[in-house]
A = this chain, B = another copy of it.
């Protein structure tokens, strides 16, 4: 059982879902692809933590709808009480930003442009997701609550990223002053 497997179990615990649904849902909090998820779902089924019902479709592969079993629910509760692993971050933008003073000005400005657009798009995306959640909240309350709080957090972080990028652009330009004088905390 790896962390992703627990995550899948967690999502399934709030409502029955297909591998396709799970791939889309989990990606907001845990980077993954369907190629990693489908084999894990097979494993979880073999181990008896989830159960699967097939729904016939025309033109598409049968839809496999997964639900949590009793032993899956037990395992989930153990996971809830276990120590939480620390966040894994791998951000190429950070690696580049570390070197910002080594780039020529044109390259640096292009990087600022690229990142600002990216963070603005994220903000839009999360705002839209929040509006969408307002419609679907009535039936699936537990899942909606989870989706709501996590999207609020993602939005807040995207806003920080945008603001930070604008601050760095400003501080980068002011080469004559001591950069330690400009605190991002004050700028926010």
Contact = CB atoms under 8 A, between A and B. Distances in A.
Interface of A: 3, 6-7, 10-11, 13-14, 26, 29-31, 76-77, 79-81, 83-103, 107, 110-111, 114-115, 118, 133-134, 137, 141-143, 145-150, 152-153, 155-157, 160-161, 164, 167-168, 171, 179-180, 183-185, 188
Contacts of A14: 98-99, 101-102
Given A84-B92, A149-B164, 4 more contacts: A77-B103, A84-B111, A102-B142, A152-B185
Nearest to A79: B96
Contact of A146 (B93, B98, B115, B149): B98
A150 B97 contact: yes
A84 B141 CA distance: 37
Given A152-B184, A184-B156, A13 B102 contact: yes
Contact of A110 (B81, B94, B142, B167): B81
A6 B29 CA distance: 26
A145 B101 contact: yes
Given A10-B95, A90-B30, A160-B160, A180 B137 contact: yes
Most chain B CB within a 10 A radius of its CB, from A13, A83, A89: A89
A107 B76 CA distance: 12
Contacts of A6: 92, 95
A179 B98 CA distance: 40
A88 B89 contact: yes
B84 A96 contact: yes
B153 A164 contact: yes
Contact of A157 (B86, B103, B137, B160): B160
Contacts of A29: 89, 91, 94-95, 98
B180 A133 contact: yes
